[in-house]
Amino acid sequence: MNLSEFIGEQSIFRAIGLVEPFPFIVPGEDPFDENGLLDIILKIGYGEREMWAPYITLEMDKVAAVLVKFYRDKWYAYIVTNQENRTINKEDVNKVSAFNSPDMLDNDGVSSNTVDGLTGDKRNVVNDTFFDPKNDFILLNDITKDGIIDKIMWDVANSLTLNIY
């Protein structure tokens, strides 16, 4: 049995959205998946792959629960990005004194104003009270959103099918 046959007329993404309302898979709210478009894309990209035997006997809601259990944290981590901006103002002046003189005179020095734009992955413990994944997902640009959907498609297909091609 291949992935397209397993999914049939059901929706794996709707089932996942019912288990956990991810901002990119929200049944009834996401116009992108109103007509099962995510399932169609999954079938086009991975539908001919053979199913992994342990999943074949499970109901779609059980498969969705297993996928959420495996990938929940990973999928939320796709949305959470951290950016750190640091401004550094620094003034160094080297002083010298003449032989047997208590006075210090400016010799040379450096005055700099540095702005560091640091970006990258950073792991933080996030309190769910302040974490709004739906809003965070909406604020992402379309290329990033498409990349997240592509990674999720890969995760779903990789879990459910055999990679024997």
Token pair of 153 as six digits: 């498609």
Identify the weakest region by mean pLDDT among 51-60, 124-133, 144-153: 124-133
User: Do 102 and 59 share a domain, yes or no?
Assistant: no
pLDDT reported for residue 89: 64
Check pLDDT > 80 for residue 129. Answer: no
Check pLDDT > 70 for residue 79. Answer: yes
User: Do 94 and 140 share a domain, yes or no?
Assistant: no
pTM for the model stands at 0.65
Token pair of 6 as six digits: 């397993």
CB 84 within 8 A of CB 121: no
pLDDT reported for residue 76: 86
| Domain residue limits at 154 | 3-81+127-160
The answer to the question of residue 153 being in a domain is yes
> DSSP string of 107-126?
EEEEEEEEEEEEEE------
Q: Residues with Cβ < 8 Å from 114, sequence gap 6 or more? A: 87, 88, 89, 90
Q: Phi/psi of residue 161, each to 5°? A: -125, 165
**Model confidence pLDDT, tens digit, residues 48-63:** 999 999 999 999 999 9
Number of domains composing the chain: 2
**Count of CB atoms situated within 10 Å of the CB of 3:** 23
CB 150 within 8 A of CB 42: no
The answer to the question of residue 93 being in a domain is yes
pLDDT reported for residue 31: 47
Residue whose C-alpha is closest to residue 150's, from 50, 9, 49, 44: 44
User: Do 9 and 64 share a domain, yes or no?
Assistant: yes
What does pLDDT average to over the chain? 78
The answer to the question of residue 102 being in a domain is yes
pLDDT reported for residue 164: 77
The answer to the question of residue 165 being in a domain is no
pLDDT reported for residue 137: 78
